[in-house]
Amino acid sequence: MADTKKLFIKTYGCQMNVYDSERMVEAMGGNGYVTTDVIEDADMVLLNTCHIREKASEKLFSDLGRLRPLKAARPDLKIGVAGCVAQAEGDEIKRRMPLVDIVVGPQSYHRLPEMVRGVGKTTDTDFPTADKFDLLPSARATRGPAAFLTVQEGCDKFCAFCVVPYTRGAEVSRPVDRILTEARELTAKGVREITLLGQNVNAYHAPGYGLARLIRELVLMPDLARIRYTTSHPGDMEDDLIAAHGDEPKLMPYLHLPVQSGSDRILKAMNRKHTAAQYLALIERIRAARPDILLSSDFIAGFPGETDADHQATLDLIRAVGFGMAYSFRYSPRPGTPAAEKPTLPEDVSNARLYEIQALITAQQRAAQDAMVGREVTVLYEKPGRMPGQMVGKSGHLHAVHVDDSLGRVGELARVRISASSANSLAGVRISL
């Protein structure tokens, strides 16, 4: 038997990258690799990158620079860069960092084992016509009670600030039967909750299926207790998907629906293809279907050309919706996108607007959590807590909950009465049955 080799993998960015890293680990498992958390013990270091946020490339090059002494001491150490920065800047990575042995894009990582073996290219950023999921091994790893499952990749929206269409390609939906097969494999390994992933997950379409019908198929799996999906686009929230939020108890009462701005002028400049009024009307319909739903969103502060009035319109929209949580970022130009060609706002102006957005969102998030005190919720236990006799898990609204339960087990769904709210989590006590 060949000697077992060790793989250290670092994942940057979104849930899609977390899922991709899991699949790369499984693919490399067939090549004799097991994972390690100690980078000095690794035979291969793989950095799975994200290109969405500010200074993504600089963070990668900084991490690669820290690997130089390790590579110098062990020339046989393989170093790979995967993901969206690899896709966008593969040639630059190899030019600036000769220590990198392999560069592989997010649509080509099924070829990683043969690249490691020295068969074929050491840089692969193609958009292959074959479905990479057909070429990946079945999931081997033991899973926790919650898992991601990619159902859709790519984006056709071409928002002016976003690199996803250039790094992930056009929208592609996986066949229904393959998704259901992978879901069954996950539940057979103890998964109770699946989050369906896609760059525009609610754009999922297969013959005879949209996302709502796919969810209704998954609901029929007896061992699957919870379903979530992310990330969505307002333009793809179809009627049957909205209805599913009210009809299907297994579909959790949480929805991440990015809006980015509350100004119609800025939304048009972003090429978002919806107005603030249309977004608010959509929120009203979703809440009519599921009144207790918790809403999350994304906001960009300081987009090129944004005025004080545009910023106030964003604050007005946030107040009108009342988000349970949200993510906000200062605009940063992404090379190759239309917005990158426009003059940026002064940094102090963008920062001030970001802080104001974050303060309002934080207040709304805290209010939503405080409102949970005294309520009974169902918590999926994901791990033991730091304190003896404590379990930690997620509520249906995606709140982290620390539960006093000395008999709790990972993977169990427990009824919990919420007793306290803190900055980023809830505390509760299991209700005796």
User: pLDDT, tens digit, for every residue of 231-286?
Assistant: 999 999 999 999 999 999 999 999 999 999 999 999 999 999 999 999 999 999 99
In whole angstroms, give the CA distance from residue 232 to residue 205. Answer: 14
Burial class (CB in 10 A: 0-12, 13-18, 19+), 291: exposed
User: pLDDT, tens digit, for every residue of 197-208?
Assistant: 999 999 999 999
> Is residue 326 within a helix (H) or strand (E), and if so which, with residue range?
strand 325-330
**Whether the predicted pLDDT of 145 surpasses 80:** yes
> Is residue 401 within a helix (H) or strand (E), and if so which, with residue range?
strand 400-404
Domains of the chain: which residue ranges? Answer: 5-124, 132-369, 376-430
**Whether the predicted pLDDT of 217 surpasses 80:** yes
Contact residues for 204 (Cβ-Cβ < 8 A; gap 6+): 151, 152, 173, 196, 198, 210, 211, 214
Average confidence (pLDDT) over 84-99:
85
User: pLDDT, tens digit, for every residue of 94-132?
Assistant: 889 999 999 988 877 778 888 888 755 576 555 555 555
pLDDT confidence tier of residue 1, bands split at 50, 70 and 90: very low
From the candidate CATH numbers 3.40.440.10, 3.90.1150.10, 3.40.50.720, 3.80.30.20, the one assigned to the domain spanning 132-369:
3.80.30.20
Q: 3-class SS at 256?
A: strand
In whole angstroms, give the CA distance from residue 262 to residue 360. Answer: 14
- Architecture of the domain defined by 5-124: 3-Layer(aba) Sandwich (3.40)
Share of the chain above pLDDT 90, in %: 72
Q: pTM of the predicted model, to two decimals?
A: 0.84
**Whether the predicted pLDDT of 16 surpasses 70:** yes
Q: For 295, list phi and psi in degrees, rounded to 5.
A: -110, 140
Chain-wide mean pLDDT for the chain? 91
Burial 247-279 (b: 16+ CB within 10 A, else e): ebebbbbbbbbbbbbbbbebbebbebebebebb
Average confidence (pLDDT) over 376-388:
95
pLDDT confidence tier of residue 19, bands split at 50, 70 and 90: confident
Contact residues for 20 (Cβ-Cβ < 8 A; gap 6+): 48, 82, 83, 106, 109, 150
Question: Would you say the CATH fold of 376-430 matches that of 5-124?
Answer: no
In whole angstroms, give the CA distance from residue 327 to residue 253. Answer: 18
Task: Report whether 88 contacts 336 (CB < 8 A).
Answer: yes
From the candidate CATH numbers 1.10.10, 2.40.50, 3.30.750, 2.10.240, the one assigned to the domain spanning 376-430:
2.40.50
Q: Which of 235-249, 322-336, 371-385 has the lowest mean pLDDT?
A: 322-336
In whole angstroms, give the CA distance from residue 85 to residue 58. Answer: 10
